[in-house]
C-alpha cells in the first residue's frame, strides 16, 4: 500500500477521528514532581469482585507513591463490555475506602489526566490507532472466529507457536480494494499491530522485583482494537500509562509473558517506557498443592468477607506489609508506635515466589493490633461494625457504654496487655456475659462450658464475704482466708507440694467464682470483673448459679 492508500484507509476506518496525536499529547503534559517521586496506579477491571490480591496491588501502589511523594491514581479498565457488572465500580471505591487506601487522583477523585475510565477514552485510543494505520504499523483483520480456531488447531497439531503471525497473518497485505469490499459487506473486523518482531531475538525486562528476565521478541500481530471499537488491555495499558505519566507499573507476574508486546507497542508509538514491578501472587494451599488465589473459588479472600467478619482493616494492612517485605515484621516489633508508612518498603525485598496467605498469621497480627488500642477506641470502632452487622448488640453496647469500656480496659494498660480480641466479632464474644440481656437467657446455655464438680458451699460462703469496696489485696486476702478455713491450699505451690492434704487450691475457688459469675473458663482479671458488676449483681449471679 502506498502512503496515499494508507491515508485513505485510515480515513475510511476512522472518519470521526479528527484529532491528532500531537493534540492529545499536549493535553497530558509532563507532571511536575520532585526527583524520585513515583507515579503509580491501581487499575482494576470492574467485574464485581475485589479480593485480597487486588487489595495487595492497591496497597503497593499506595505505599510506593506515598513514600516517594508521588501520585497514586485509580483507573478503571472496563474495556470488556461482556464482563461489565452493574455497581462494580462503586464496590472498588468502597473497598478502597474501608481500607483507607485512597487514590488522590482518578476515577472518583478526578484530576488533570483523565478521563480515568477506559470506556470513555475510546477516541484517544482510536486517534493513535489511526496514526498507526497511516504509518502502516497496524491493519484491519477480517478473519472470522472459525478461521482463527482452525489456524489455532493446526498450530497445536504441528506444535508451532500459537497466534497470528508470519504467513498466518493473511489479512496483513490486503489491498485497499479488498478492504473496501469487506467494509461494504459490513464484515466485522479488528485492528492488529503489524509486528516487526523476530522470534530469535530477545528482549530483557529489567524488573524491579524479579531482576532481569530475558524473553523472546513479540512476533504476533496482536489485536489492539476489538470489533466493538474498544482497545484490548495491551494497547490501552500502553496508551494510558504513557499519557498519565506512570513511572512504575506494579502488576501481578502473570503479565510478564506479555511484556514484549508492551515494549513493542511503546517502540512503535515512540513512547519512553516506564518501569515495571511484577509481584508474585498470593496463593492458597489446597489438596497439598499451592495455587493462586481465585476470585471464583475463594470467597473467603474477598474484601467484603473481611469487613463482614470484623477483621480490622489496619490488621490486614499490617499483614500485607509483612508479606510485601518480611523484614517489616521485625522492624514493627521494634517500632510499635510507628505507622507502616514509616517503614522503608523496597521492591527488591519483595518475595519472588508465590506467598501463602496464612490466615493464622493474620489472626495473630490482629490480636497484637487490638492489644495496643485503648478501650475507648475499641469501643468506638466496634460500635461502627455492630451498627452495620448486629443491631441487637449495637443497642446493648450503646446502653452499657461505660460498663463495656471498663471491661475492655481490664489488663489493657501496662506492658503486657491481654490479647483476647482478634476481630470486632470477638468484642461481643468476649464480653457477652457482662450484659444481663445475654447472661440470663437459659441457665443450661449460660453454664454450658462448665464440666467440673461444683462446690455450692464455698460459693455461698463467698457470696457472704464479697465486698465491692475491697482493694485487690484485701479481696485476695479474703479468698485466701476462705481457702484456709475450708481446707483449700492458699497457694498453688503449697497445693502442689502436698495435694493429698487439700480439697483443692485457691485457684479452684477463683475458678468456681468465675464460672458462677461469667459462665466462662477464661476471662480477664476476676477482681475487676466483680468490681464492675458490683455486690448486688455478684450475689444475684451466684444465686442464679447454685439455685
Tell whether residue 521 is a contact of RNA (CB under 7 A): yes
Site for RNA in 273-302 (CB under 7 A): 280-281, 289-292
Residue 173: exposure state from Cβ atoms within 10 A (0-12, 13-18, ≥19): exposed
In this structure, are residues 304 and 88 in contact, taking their beta carbons and an 8 Å threshold? no
Tell whether residue 166 is a contact of RNA (CB under 7 A): no
Using CA atoms, how far apart are residues 362 and 383, in angstroms rounded to an integer? 22
Cβ distance to RNA smaller for residue 320 or 394: 320
Cβ distance to RNA smaller for residue 37 or 256: 256
In this structure, what DSSP letter does residue 160 have?
Answer: P
Tell whether residue 409 is a contact of RNA (CB under 7 A): no
Tell whether residue 3 is a contact of RNA (CB under 7 A): no
Using CA atoms, how far apart are residues 118 and 115, in angstroms rounded to an integer? 7
Using CA atoms, how far apart are residues 279 and 52, in angstroms rounded to an integer? 14
In this structure, are residues 99 and 316 in contact, taking their beta carbons and an 8 Å threshold? yes
Using CA atoms, how far apart are residues 382 and 427, in angstroms rounded to an integer? 7
Choose, by CB under 7 A, the member of 89, 126, 264, 322 that binds RNA: 322
Cβ distance to RNA smaller for residue 131 or 221: 221
Tell whether residue 542 is a contact of RNA (CB under 7 A): no
Using CA atoms, how far apart are residues 15 and 5, in angstroms rounded to an integer? 15
Which x/- pattern, by CB under 7 A, does the window 423-462 give for RNA? Answer: ----------------------------------------
| Nearest distance, CB of residue 544 and RNA, angstroms | 20
Site for RNA in 481-500 (CB under 7 A): 491-493
Which x/- pattern, by CB under 7 A, does the window 169-208 give for RNA? Answer: -------------------x-x------------------
Cβ distance to RNA smaller for residue 511 or 537: 511
Tell whether residue 232 is a contact of RNA (CB under 7 A): yes
Choose, by CB under 7 A, the member of 21, 180, 226, 412 that binds RNA: 226
Choose, by CB under 7 A, the member of 45, 54, 127, 246 that binds RNA: 45
Grid cell, residue 342, equals: 514509616
Q: Which range binds RNA by CB under 7 A, 31-39, 304-312, 349-357, 443-451?
A: 349-357
Tell whether residue 4 is a contact of RNA (CB under 7 A): no
278 strand-pairing partners: 251
Cβ distance to RNA smaller for residue 60 or 394: 60
Choose, by CB under 7 A, the member of 258, 304, 400, 539 that binds RNA: 258
Cis bond leading into 327, ω under 30°? no
Tell whether residue 468 is a contact of RNA (CB under 7 A): no
The single residue listed with the C-alpha cell 530475558 is 214
- The candidate with the shortest Cα–Cα distance to 242, out of 107, 92, 75, is 75
Choose, by CB under 7 A, the member of 523, 531, 538, 541 that binds RNA: 523
**DSSP assignments along 209-257, one per residue:** TTEEEEEEPP-S--EEE-TTSPBPHHHHHHHHHHHTT-SEEEEEGGGGG
74 strand-pairing partners: 42, 106
In this structure, are residues 44 and 50 in contact, taking their beta carbons and an 8 Å threshold? yes
Which x/- pattern, by CB under 7 A, does the window 375-394 give for RNA? Answer: --------------------
Tell whether residue 272 is a contact of RNA (CB under 7 A): no
Amino acid at each position: 500500500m502506498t502512503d496515499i492508500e494508507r491515508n485513505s484507509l485510515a480515513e475510511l476506518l476512522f472518519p470521526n477521528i479528527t484529532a491528532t496525536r500531537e493534540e492529545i499529547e499536549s493535553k497530558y503534559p509532563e507532571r511536575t514532581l520532585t526527583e524520585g517521586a513515583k507515579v503509580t496506579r491501581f487499575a482494576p477491571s470492574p467485574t464485581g469482585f475485589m479480593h485480597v490480591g487486588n487489595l495487595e496491588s492497591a496497597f503497593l501502589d499506595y505505599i510506593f507513591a506515598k513514600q516517594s511523594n508521588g501520585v497514586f491514581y485509580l483507573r478503571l479498565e472496563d474495556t470488556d463490555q461482556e464482563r461489565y457488572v452493574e455497581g462494580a465500580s462503586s464496590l472498588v471505591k468502597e473497598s478502597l475506602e474501608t481500607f483507607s487506601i485512597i487514590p488522590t487522583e482518578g476515577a472518583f477523585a478526578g484530576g488533570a489526566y483523565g478521563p480515568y475510565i477506559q470506556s470513555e477514552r475510546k477516541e484517544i485510543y482510536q486517534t493513535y490507532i489511526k496514526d498507526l494505520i497511516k504509518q502502516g504499523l497496524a491493519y484491519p483483520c477480517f478473519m472470522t472466529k472459525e478461521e482463527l480456531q482452525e489456524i489455532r488447531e493446526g498450530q497445536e497439531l504441528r506444535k508451532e507457536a500459537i497466534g497470528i503471525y508470519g504467513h498466518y497473518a493473511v489479512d496483513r497485505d490486503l489491498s485497499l480494494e479488498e478492504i473496501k469490499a469487506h467494509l461494504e459487506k459490513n464484515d466485522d473486523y479488528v485492528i492488529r499491530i503489524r509486528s516487526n518482531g523476530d522470534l530469535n531475538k530477545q528482549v530483557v525486562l529489567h524488573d524491579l522485583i524479579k531482576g532481569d528476565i530475558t524473553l523472546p521478541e513479540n512476533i504476533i500481530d496482536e489485536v489492539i482494537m476489538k470489533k466493538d471499537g474498544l482497545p484490548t488491555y495491551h494497547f490501552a495499558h500502553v496508551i494510558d500509562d504513557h499519557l498519565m505519566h506512570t513511572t512504575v507499573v506494579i502488576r501481578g507476574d502473570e503479565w510478564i509473558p506479555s511484556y514484549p508486546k508492551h515494549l513493542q507497542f511503546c517502540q512503535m508509538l515512540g513512547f519512553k517506557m516506564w518501569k515495571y514491578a511484577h509481584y508474585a501472587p498470593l496463593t492458597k494451599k489446597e489438596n497439598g498443592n499451592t495455587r493462586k488465589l481465585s476470585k471464583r473459588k475463594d470467597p473467603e479472600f474477598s474484601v467484603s468477607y473481611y469487613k463482614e467478619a470484623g477483621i480490622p482493616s489496619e490488621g490486614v494492612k499490617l499483614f500485607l506489609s509483612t508479606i510485601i517485605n518480611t523484614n517489616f515484621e521485625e522492624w514493627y516489633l521494634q517500632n510499635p508506635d510507628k505507622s507502616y508508612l514509616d517503614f522503608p518498603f523496597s521492591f527488591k525485598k519483595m518475595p519472588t515466589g508465590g506467598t501463602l496467605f496464612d490466615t493464622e498469621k493474620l489472626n495473630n497480627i490482629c490480636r497484637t493490633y487490638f492489644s495496643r488500642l485503648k478501650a475507648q477506641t475499641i469501643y468506638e470502632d466496634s460500635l461502627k461494625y455492630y451498627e452495620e452487622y448486629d443491631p441487637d448488640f449495637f443497642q446493648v453496647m450503646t446502653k452499657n457504654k461505660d460498663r463495656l469500656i471498663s471491661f475492655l480496659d481490664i489488663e489493657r494498660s501496662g506492658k503486657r496487655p491481654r490479647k483476647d480480641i482478634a476481630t470486632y466479632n470477638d468484642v461481643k464474644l468476649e464480653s457477652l456475659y457482662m450484659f444481663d440481656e445475654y447472661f440470663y437467657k437459659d441457665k443450661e446455655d449460660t453454664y454450658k462450658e462448665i464440666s467440673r464438680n461444683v462446690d455450692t458451699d464455698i460459693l455461698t460462703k463467698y457470696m457472704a464475704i464479697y465486698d465491692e469496696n475491697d482493694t485487690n489485696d484485701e479481696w485476695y486476702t479474703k479468698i485466701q482466708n476462705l481457702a484456709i478455713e475450708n481446707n483449700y491450699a492458699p497457694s498453688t505451690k503449697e497445693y502442689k507440694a502436698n495435694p493429698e492434704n487439700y480439697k483443692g487450691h485457691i485457684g479452684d475457688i477463683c475458678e468456681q467464682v468465675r464460672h458462677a459469675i461469667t459462665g466462662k473458663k477464661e476471662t480477664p482479671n476476676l477482681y475487676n470483673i466483680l468490681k464492675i458488676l458490683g455486690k448486688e449483681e455478684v450475689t444475684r449471679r451466684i444465686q442464679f448459679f447454685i439455685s
